[in-house]
Amino acid sequence: MQEYIYSPHYDFYINKVHRVPSFDMKTFHLHKKYEIYYLLEGTRKYFIEDSVYLVNAGNIVIIDKDEVHKTGAVENAPHTRFVLNFNPEYIGPILDSVNGCDLLSFFSMGIKVLAISMKEQGLFENILQRMYNLVGNGTPDAEIMRKALLTELLVCLKECVGAQQNENVSCKKLNNKTIDKISDYITSNYREALSLNQIASQFFISPCYLSHLFKKTTNLTIVEYINSVRIRVAKNYLETTDMNITEIAEQAGFSTSSHFSRMFKLGSGLSPNQYRKYYHKT
């Protein structure tokens, strides 16, 4: 559970951590859950899909289902954060009862980082802390309270996202034109035999410089980014087709099915066959 906090076996998960000095997630991951990340202290870089955002204390990060993401350190600063993820089925009856009010639509609006007021920060911190205080409490009353607090959190987030969208406030993206071009190249050529040396040659830069620049900008190694693109492609095949694992590995650009299976489990917490069992749409 600590290693794969996004496992589909858990409908609801909340965690609070303080880390000193710096901390980088070991690898990117993706999952079928919605995720809310709240930074209490420090500054972080957050890679989401193909963009990198600067996240400061008091910011909220919104992760939609199936979005590849990873956090990284900014210099050696300590940080404290809440992370919460949940399946929509967890509060399904509540969602069904609020006709005309989609409490999950804001996850797909394209706003990834919310800068909120001090008053709103106090509200969100209170809700998250109260949910965290219920960890390990399996009583019916605690379960009702968890769902009520999650619903309140979603209502408040929906309002904040709507306000930020109306004010046309842009997220704090960290951009680099060279890395943007390389990312586009990888996305378009993921089925090819991509490597650090080959990509560096394609863009007339040294492999050492490319490796350093890509990691500094995205918080991913270039191999991690290639694998993240390929895993997104493979995930779609697993969900929507009956292709076998070897065929999917080939279509997604992996050299072998064993390498595909290893990378897929590292990124999703499940083997390809386990993932298909949970999510294959017949």
Q: What is the DSSP string of 184-238?
A: HHHHHSTTS---HHHHHHHTTS-HHHHHHHHHHHHSS-HHHHHHHHHHHHHHHHH
From 232, 234, 256, 238, select the one nearest 246 (Cα to Cα): 256
| CA 57/CA 73 separation, integer angstroms | 13
Residues near 14 by Cβ (< 8 Å), separated by ≥ 6? 82, 83, 84, 128, 131, 132, 135
Query: What pLDDT was estimated at residue 4?
Result: 42
Amino acid sitting at position 250: E
| CA 74/CA 72 separation, integer angstroms | 7
In this structure, the number of other CB atoms found within 10 A of the CB of residue 23 comes to 18
Residues near 16 by Cβ (< 8 Å), separated by ≥ 6? 80, 81, 82, 128, 129, 132
Contacts made by residues 116-122, CB under 8 angstroms, sequence distance 24+: 116/58, 116/59, 116/60, 116/160, 118/58, 120/156, 120/160, 121/58
Q: Is the peptide bond between 21 and the residue preceding it cis, with omega within 30 degrees of 0?
A: yes
Q: What is the DSSP string of 133-159?
A: HTTT--SHHHHHHHHHHHHHHHHHHHH
Q: Count H helices, E strands: the chain?
A: 10, 8
Q: Where are the beta strands (DSSP E) in the chain?
A: 12-19, 34-41, 43-48, 51-56, 59-63, 69-73, 79-86, 113-115
Domains of the chain and any CATH numbers: 12-166 (2.60.120.280), 177-279 (1.10.10.60)
pTM score of the predicted model: 0.85
* pLDDT per residue rounded down to tens, the chain (282 residues): 334 444 556 889 999 999 887 788 888 888 889 999 999 999 999 999 888 999 999 999 999 998 999 998 888 888 999 999 999 999 999 988 887 789 999 999 989 999 888 999 999 999 999 999 999 999 999 999 999 999 999 999 999 999 888 886 666 677 789 999 999 999 999 999 999 999 999 999 999 999 999 988 888 899 999 999 999 999 999 999 999 999 999 999 999 999 999 999 988 888 999 989 877 654
Question: Across the strands, what pairs with 17?
Answer: 81
| CA 202/CA 190 separation, integer angstroms | 14
CB of 187 within 8 A of CB of 229?
yes
From 107, 5, 112, 100, select the one nearest 49 (Cα to Cα): 112
Give the tokens for residue 249. Answer: 């590995």
Give the tokens for residue 77. Answer: 């600063």
pLDDT in tens, 250-268: 999 999 999 999 999 988 8
| CA 139/CA 143 separation, integer angstroms | 6
Amino acid sitting at position 193: A
